[in-house]
Structure 1
């Protein structure tokens, strides 16, 4: 009998041990239990936590499994054969109280930030075709990105593209904390692939207290720099109009850091004639910790980009054939051929718990070639710069304060030549210049927590800028010449106040000043003139806003109203040869409201449909010329050129327990005036996009996503990127009709 009992116990012992595995799931912030979390193993078997956040299961060997919950970030865990395992989950950013931004060099919840700030997350980018950032950015109120041809971007923040006939101007762009906008005001945004961007924060309007001169706003891109696991990943996508994109990346951990390498290739024939593009991007990232107080980060980005420029069409040409290129564009090989190298070295040092510094330097080289219908431009640029910021936390009496101070310096040297264009080849040189541009500013900021409810921010920056033009060859005037423009030092202040109504709601108000000197491309134009009389824009922005979350983050509201008064507004016009020129237009009045509301109709970890979320955004931009007289034409009181008075975006996001998802977006854009006289408009249009797919784990080490989507679902006819005040009525750059795409992503941990 004893032998029998012993045999039974020995036989059952492994099963008894297996039954002792227990997982306790906790909220990383509150340390409260997380009920109904889901645990999935290699065999796809699911385990669900009870109301106390506990999961019991039986295993015969340690197993890597995925723990997930609709309100928290998913996490891989190694589950032991026996014992108690406590796992903390980080909350997903489902409410404004959980979204942390660092837009003013100070990490604080968005709820406490006293400014108009939009955030574009990686999940926002992945709601659309991943070949362009256009649609994701255009879901945010007050933001409009145009793509006049594949990879030819133009960005407007609250109407700031008025002076940007092409490219990105009057908006300062940062990448991983360093200026991506060169000293001369140009921003090669098109050299970035979406894989180089994981998070984006956009400050709408002047932000001079930290980022120096600029009225349009600031876009701060950041890429994923940390290496948390060894991984190989690859993407492949394809679509209509000859679109193909593939990516391969490797993440490798090291003893005190890690290295990431990624290569992306993207090609497309384009919707219109003469709109092919070809881009290669290589990114190398390294992060290291020499000591507990230090952190070193390196970034190297290389981009080789070529794309064709179809040119704008008249209304009659659009009616005849919207896919045609402007006559002469193909024959003259109108295109951009650009190679750029951008390197960053950053050093973070924590002197003590209250005092820290971050210092970064960068170098950038650009080879640029631009044959166009009217001329042929070649440029070689070398630039460098740096930024250093000190942060000190202290207490003045009963008031906690944070002091931030530092400076930024940029220098660029460009060899620029303009030739005639004969059949797409550079002909006789027209003029050859050496361009030197220097910009610098110092900044100071004080954040004072006046009480548990009130946070006051005072900021100031002192700005300096200068450019020199040495014209070594001048075939028009026959004599070399020099020109210099030095802008007087400008002090740009900002004051802001945030007041919490309760832990999940706050009001904010701010007054900020802006200063935006003309770029060297606006002073030195393609037909050879140098306009030293072009004045800097100066403006002041008044803004109030309200942010709140309700029902445990299921409902979120972000609303603001602003009034921006801009003097010496820079606008464009075109001469009889079709060359874009610039002039100051007196003053503009820009009044607006912007609202974002999102709410979860369903949020249930145990249901088949885990989440069903709706998002609505609205922007009302009532912008007019306050004082604008040109010769016999008085445009005062007219609507601001290139700005839609109303835009509305509706989004539906569906996520299921098996891993299937659906994203649907509807966008309405109101009539857009295309000339200062308000006699020509881009008609209002509705645009719809959708994406569906499945993402999940094929095994503990293999993550897979398969997706497909459609752009312009309703086959709307519209122009995504109009030419403003053109000569000859060439206003329109027709966008693609309905088109489809699909792809697959694979990630393998090793």
Structure 2
């Protein structure tokens, strides 16, 4: 009898070890129950809450459970082995009230930010082929990234690319809080792989009060900010025109931080002749938290990039064969070969609940080689710099205030030589320069919450910049020379006000100044001339905007109107030898309207189709030359070169409970003037892209994604960036016809 009783107790013992935990899930904002939340108890078992947000789980010990819902952010919660617990879920980034942005050095909900700000999330990037940022950025109003050949980027925010025949200028770029734009004003955006970017914030229009030079605005990239799990990942994608991209990555948690390593390789033959592209990018990041008050992040980014330059075609060549390269480009091996290394260190320190500081420093080296149709350039650059920002929160006379202050400094030294190009090989040297560039600014900002509804911001920066061109070899004039320019200090103010109409809607207004000095590449051109008379652009932007969310984030509206008056506008022209030169074009008037609306047609956690979301984005840019007379030509009143007056983007996103998804994008771009005289235009076009796939968990520790996509679905004839004001009518840089791609992603948690 005793033996039977012993065996019965032994059999029931495992059941006694399991205890019940009652869980109730609530909306963190409204405190209302969240129905049908999916709770993953372990890697194989999932339970669904009832319509009142209630469920019961059996646990043998305290466990981390994963709570997910289509309308809320996924959250991991430590749940006790018995008793009752309430779990609060935060609404996902479907609602503007829940979107946090750090623009102007102040983390606040997007609803409260008094500026034109666009966000490009990781999910936005993965709606398209994962080879570039172009298509994702071009879905946002007021923003256009051009790619005339694979990896040949040009960024236009509210028409800011007018002075950029190639490369990224007049826009300030940051990466993980670090200045990524060189002190000469150029940005090597193409050295990064998509895996180096997780989220992006874009300030549209001048933001010099806290970010320095650049009338176009600010792009702030962030990569993964921490390691929260041990994971090995591998991606592979293939596509038309010889496209192959693969990535290997590993995340390793440490006792007080983590280590992340990512290697990506991308190669393609390109749609046109002479458009081969080959890039390798390695990123190593260390995350450390020595104490609760501080955090250290260190990174190494190495990029080896090569791409060929096909050149632009005239109308006759375009009609004959849009895939051909400009005559001479292949024979002269027109291309870019660039090796870059960035080393960074960031330190966040919280002195107390009122005061914190973030300081970042970097060093970088670049080897740049550029054979072109007309010459052959070689440059070696070394640079360093840093940024520090203090934030102090307090209450003055019952008014919450936030004070932000800091500074930024950058320096670069470049050894640059220009040679003749003999069949793609270096010929006789023409001139050799040593270039020194420095830029610095101090910034201060006051934010005052005048009431529960009104937030006022006043910002100011003091800017200093200079460059020195020491021409040690001059085979043209025969005499070495020195050219130096120190720009007068520039004070850049900004005043902004945000007014909440209710908890889900707000108005904002701002007046901000901007300036942008000429870069060394604009002063020192390829044929050897040095134009010290080129003046800095200066302007004032007036903006009024409205943001709101309705129906618990199912409908969101973000719109703004602006007027930007720019003086001493820098534009490009080409001489008879085909060399791009620069000039000040007087004043421009830039009036615009930008609007984005998204709404969820379906959002049901338990249905097969969980979400159907539609997004519309409209850009109306009515930019004119106000006073632009050159010789016998009067361009006053003409449309601003390179800017489409109207752009419309429509997006459809479908998510299903089993993990299948579909993304569809339609983009309409209006006629674009390609010269200052407005006599040549790129015709309007409709561009359609689509991607479909499946993502989910497989087995105990694997996650998997399979996808397939098509670009230029209707086989439209278009360009992602033509040449402006070229010599010989070489305007056209045709983009690829309809093409397909596909890929696989595998992750292992260990």
**Structure 2 length normalisation: TM-score?**
0.97
> What's the CA shift for 1:92?
1.4
Q: 1:479 to 1:348 in 2, by over 3 A?
A: same
Q: 1:63 to 1:442 in 2, by over 3 A?
A: closer
Aligned alpha-carbon RMSD (Å): 2.0
Q: How many residues align?
A: 750
Q: Which residue is 1:657 aligned to?
A: 657
> What's the CA shift for 1:293?
1.4
> What's the CA shift for 1:25?
3.1
Q: Which residue is 2:450 aligned to?
A: 450
Q: 1:727 to 1:542 in 2, by over 3 A?
A: same
Q: Which residue is 1:310 aligned to?
A: 310
1:582-597 superposed matches below 5 A: 582-597=582-597
Aligned 8 A contact 2:129 2:709 in 1:
yes
Aligned 8 A contact 2:41 2:66 in 1:
yes
Q: Which residue is 1:249 aligned to?
A: 249
Aligned 8 A contact 2:466 2:485 in 1:
yes
Q: 1:394 to 1:41 in 2, by over 3 A?
A: closer
Aligned 8 A contact 2:44 2:700 in 1:
no
Aligned 8 A contact 1:94 1:554 in 2:
yes
Q: Which residue is 2:117 aligned to?
A: 117
**Partner secondary structure for residue 316 of structure 2:** helix
How many angstroms apart in 2 are the aligned matches of 1:129 and 1:645? 27
How many angstroms apart in 2 are the aligned matches of 1:64 and 1:112? 34
Q: Which residue is 2:98 aligned to?
A: 98
Aligned 8 A contact 1:17 1:82 in 2:
no
Q: Which residue is 1:742 aligned to?
A: 742
Q: 1:446 to 1:65 in 2, by over 3 A?
A: closer
The CA deviation string for residues 303-322 of structure 1, in whole angstroms up to 9 with x for no partner, is: 00000000001111111111
**Partner secondary structure for residue 104 of structure 1:** helix
How many angstroms apart in 1 are the aligned matches of 2:600 and 2:346? 40
Q: Which residue is 1:176 aligned to?
A: 176
How many angstroms apart in 2 are the aligned matches of 1:357 and 1:454? 26
Q: Which residue is 1:572 aligned to?
A: 572
**Partner secondary structure for residue 170 of structure 1:** coil
Q: 1:82 to 1:406 in 2, by over 3 A?
A: closer
Q: Which residue is 1:200 aligned to?
A: 200
Aligned 8 A contact 1:225 1:285 in 2:
no
Q: Which residue is 2:561 aligned to?
A: 561
Aligned 8 A contact 1:18 1:57 in 2:
no
1:277-288 superposed matches below 5 A: 277-288=277-288
How many angstroms apart in 2 are the aligned matches of 1:102 and 1:439? 23
The answer on 1:273 being equivalent to 2:266 is: no
The CA deviation string for residues 186-223 of structure 1, in whole angstroms up to 9 with x for no partner, is: 10000010110011000001001110122111100011
Q: Which runs of 5+ in 2 are unaligned?
A: none
1:640-719 superposed matches below 5 A: 640-719=640-719
1:429-440 superposed matches below 5 A: 429-440=429-440
How many angstroms apart in 1 are the aligned matches of 2:286 and 2:186? 27
Q: Which residue is 1:340 aligned to?
A: 340
How many angstroms apart in 1 are the aligned matches of 2:431 and 2:5? 101
How many angstroms apart in 2 are the aligned matches of 1:108 and 1:43? 35
Between 576-585 and 32-41, the greater mean CA deviation after superposition: 32-41
Q: 1:514 to 1:59 in 2, by over 3 A?
A: closer
How many angstroms apart in 1 are the aligned matches of 2:44 and 2:714? 39
Q: Which residue is 2:185 aligned to?
A: 185
The CA deviation string for residues 503-548 of structure 1, in whole angstroms up to 9 with x for no partner, is: 0000000000011100000000000000000000010000000000
Q: Which residue is 1:603 aligned to?
A: 603
Q: Which residue is 1:507 aligned to?
A: 507
> What's the CA shift for 1:34?
2.4
> What's the CA shift for 1:73?
2.3
**Partner secondary structure for residue 714 of structure 2:** coil
Q: Which runs of 5+ in 1 are unaligned?
A: none
Aligned 8 A contact 1:225 1:286 in 2:
no
Between 28-37 and 669-678, the greater mean CA deviation after superposition: 28-37
How many angstroms apart in 2 are the aligned matches of 1:309 and 1:525? 19
How many angstroms apart in 2 are the aligned matches of 1:712 and 1:41? 43
1:631-646 superposed matches below 5 A: 631-646=631-646
Aligned 8 A contact 2:247 2:263 in 1:
yes
> What's the CA shift for 1:91?
2.8
